[in-house]
Amino acid sequence: MNTLIQPFIIFFVLFFPGLYVSLVHFSWGIVQFHAFNINDELLRIITRNIPALCLIWYFLLKEPLRSVLGQLKPAKKDVRQAITVFFLLFVIGFALSGVMSFILPMEAGDIHISGTASWLIIALSCISTGYVEESYFRVYLINHLTLSGFPRKKALIASCILFSLCHFYQGPLGLVFSLFAGMLLSHTYIKGKSIHGIAIGHGFYNLASFILAHIQSVSGVSM
């Protein structure tokens, strides 16, 4: 039981507030993109993403997780891994969108972003969010549970389920997509033993999703 206290506290502090808001404002079939404000987004990076990364990586510096520190070093393979993750996330996303559209009416929220500075901020937000989520759900959680005696399969299942729950605000499609995405990201992490490829691929997929949502909002054309 003591093994679960630390990861539960970190999850509660970093992700539960967003999960709570998702449960309160949940809407079937609708993916909500909140109105973009450059100051709010920059504040979120500074007050949430950066401290979250510092907290997670602090625990990675402590025993017994110090053994995974080598996975934080960039390598050439990270570029190939990031491209692969980005492509496969898109394949999963488009496939699930097609299937879910026959089950539930899907509606994307409006999002309008203008100006180079705004796009740079949202790109930084997407990449830093990718690093926060991959640092916790893959590098920290999987290794913490397995090094504490949990079977790897159970650690992977826990990682995928918690990762999916954090995307509750995206509706049924977001829940199902995040579950499959979690499986892909976990498998890629276990195989490659590096955070950078999955974090960057994850972040650029999020950025591409914002770009597509912006194009849809401006043009009025359904993607």
150-164: per-residue pLDDT in tens?
999 999 999 999 999
What confidence score (pLDDT) does residue 24 get? 45
**Model pLDDT, residue 107:** 55
What residue ranges do the domains of the chain occupy?
75-103+112-223
The share of the chain scoring above pLDDT 90, in percent, equals 50
Alpha-carbon distance 89 to 86, whole Å? 5
* pLDDT for res 16: 77
Note the pLDDT of residue 37. 75
Query: What percentage of residues in the chain have a pLDDT greater than 70?
Result: 83
Model pTM? 0.88
Exposure of 114 by Cβ count < 10 A (0-12 exposed, 13-18 middle, 19+ buried)?
exposed
> In this model, does residue 134 exceed pLDDT 70?
yes
Q: What is the pLDDT of residue 29?
A: 47
* Beta carbons of 92 and 180 less than 8 angstroms apart: yes
What is the average pLDDT across 1-19? Answer: 80
- Mean pLDDT score of the chain: 84
Note the pLDDT of residue 175: 86
- Spatial neighbors of 102 by CB under 8 A, at least 6 apart, are none
pLDDT-based confidence at 97, cuts 50/70/90?
Answer: confident
